[in-house]
Chain A
Amino acid sequence: MRAAIEIEGLTKTYGAGSGSVTPVDGLSLTVASGEIFGLLGPNGAGKTTTIKMLAGLVFPSSGSASLLGNPVGHVQTRVRIGYLPESISMNTFMRAAEYLDFHARLYGMGAARRRQKVADVLEQTGLKESAESRVRNFSRGMMQRMALAQAIINEPELLLLDEPASALDPIGRRDLRDIIIRMRNRGTTVLINSHLLSEVEMICTRIGIMNRGRLIRIGEMGAIIRPVQVVDVKTDGLSAEAMASIEELAAKVDFLAGGSFTAMLGNDEEIARLVEIITTSGAVLRELSPRNMTLEAAFLEEIAAAERS
């Protein structure tokens, strides 16, 4: 599959000498066409600088990047790209439809297409009812929806989203997810930089984790969020002897009130052994739920490992 984004040794350095700062350091990354790729990392990891370099706002110090087969900054390629900045302030005197019409003009759309596209994106972003309202009356979440609307008004083949859900309420986030999935189904490639890991977990097919300007992990979501052998157990009548046996078996166990406990085990055989201990002790096993590792846990683990090394 052809690559929508190709980054090779991308570096950005501000300043010179001992006071210089390098927010992005030799980043290499390929995002395939049609992929939803999540870029994660703690504050200062270089995610926003990376997206800004791809959007043509910041010039790289070295390295190269191409979008949809053309080098970053190629004017005609921008017709096929949408960009949502991390923070945006709008001219509040404008009405929502007027603001979007202005951005559609900048994409060179004719009057009929503009009318159709403005109505379309207002509908998609849930702002149809506010089309004639002035932006100054909008909440922060509505502003964020407007910003998203201007980014997708050209039906982009590549969408660069920098913290798209930061100001959205749960309904807004669901709408955002729907829009992104709908665009993915149309073949749009999406690059998302977000701190909202649960959102990323729900929609991204692949993620990259950045720390101190470098990409420390990249992979399919399934490979990064690997299963862990943590089980939540609910029992009735668990004896002290059984509890002692469980403590011996598990790497870690937390007993809670009412016969419930959480145990960290090494493998599936140990889970089977745990069930055996409970049932042979005469206790009743009411529930045993294996836990999946969350993206947040995987993310924190990766960052901690990177910091240690």
Chain B
Amino acid sequence: MKTRALAIYTVRHTLRSKSMIAGLAVSLLYLAVIPLLSTAGGGGAMAGAGDRGIAGAQFLNFALGGLNLIGMFMAVFVSLGSVHDEIERGMMATLVTKPMRRSQVIIGRWAGYALLMTGYVLIVGLSLWLTVALDTGQPFWSYIPALGLACLNVVTMVTLTYAISVFMPATANAIFAFLIFGVTASLSLLNIAGAGDGIGMRIVGNLFRLSLPVGEVGDQMRRLLRFRPRTTPITPAYLIPRGWSFLYEIVYIGALLLLVVTVFGKRDLD
């Protein structure tokens, strides 16, 4: 009940934050503009795609990729100062001194951010599907797993930023999170590095890929929508089978949460 109360409080608080309001405004703009690219019969950006089914799949792939990116950016911005700044402002002191474990505080706050961002991706993602399904008859059930992976990516970014916020203030957190994101999102570069002959390059490529698996899972998301990603021609020597990268991402989220709970549990809040 206490963890749930914290999660609900976090959702309500974050919904009123400037980052969330700006993100929602961008999303509305995105929802308004993106259907223009999906003109019936595969016109506009989809011209030449052949039949309506392929055009629809290509559009969903393109639109969901955009949503995935916007969602991950929003995830970073909403959770930037969550732990560090709340300690500085004294808000954390009134929570931690209540009759609950520090781990409950951490999990409750994280659950709030994760729920909010998952809800956001689901609502916008389903709206995107509706704009295409009415036009091209794109099947719902093949879209759902891809949307699920987009949600997973957003939760991963929330968790990463949230974890860094235990150690760093908002600005440093933003720099750090975007640095990791920037490097690991360049999947084609990582694949080239990972596919190299030298063992050193393979290790570097794989380490980057493992340090934030959102690029790999985004790739998997595109494959689910029957679209061949640009990165496939180069096959890296990857430690995890490509179809299972989402499982690694779930473990990654769990490991980050464990790290946060452990560090926060031993940290002086002064």
Contact = CB atoms under 8 A, between A and B. Distances in A.
Whether both chains belong to one complex is answered with yes
Interface of A: 49, 52, 55-59, 75-79, 81, 83, 85-91, 93, 102-103, 105-108, 147, 150
B91 A78 contact: no
B94 A83 contact: yes
Interface in B94-124: 94-101
Given A57-B96, A77-B99, 9 more contacts: A78-B98, A78-B99, A81-B97, A83-B97, A87-B90, A88-B90, A88-B94, A89-B91, A103-B94
Given A83-B93, A91-B91, A49 B270 contact: yes
B82 to A, nearest CB: 12
Contacts of A57: 93, 96-97, 268-270
A103 B97 CA distance: 11
B5 interface: yes
Contact of A85 (B5, B6, B9, B94): B94
Closest 8 A-B residue pairs measured CB to CB? A78-B99, A89-B89, A106-B98, A105-B5, A57-B269, A83-B97, A85-B93, A88-B90
B97 A56 contact: yes
Nearest to B85: A89
Nearest to A93: B16
B230 interface: no
12 contacts: A52-B270, A55-B97, A56-B96, A56-B97, A59-B268, A88-B89, A91-B91, A105-B1, A106-B2, A106-B99, A107-B99, A150-B94
B64 to A, nearest CB: 32
A88 B99 contact: no
- Chain B interface size range: 20 to 34
A57 B9 CA distance: 21
A79 B90 contact: no
For A49, A77, A89, A90, the residue with the greatest tally of chain B CB atoms inside 10 Å of its CB is A89
Contacts of B16: 93
Contact of A108 (B2, B9, B269): B2
A266 to B, nearest CB: 48
Nearest to A82: B97
A102 B93 contact: no
A166 to B, nearest CB: 13
B59 to A, nearest CB: 38
Contacts of B96: 56-57
A75 B96 CA distance: 10
Interface string B181-199: 0000000000000000000
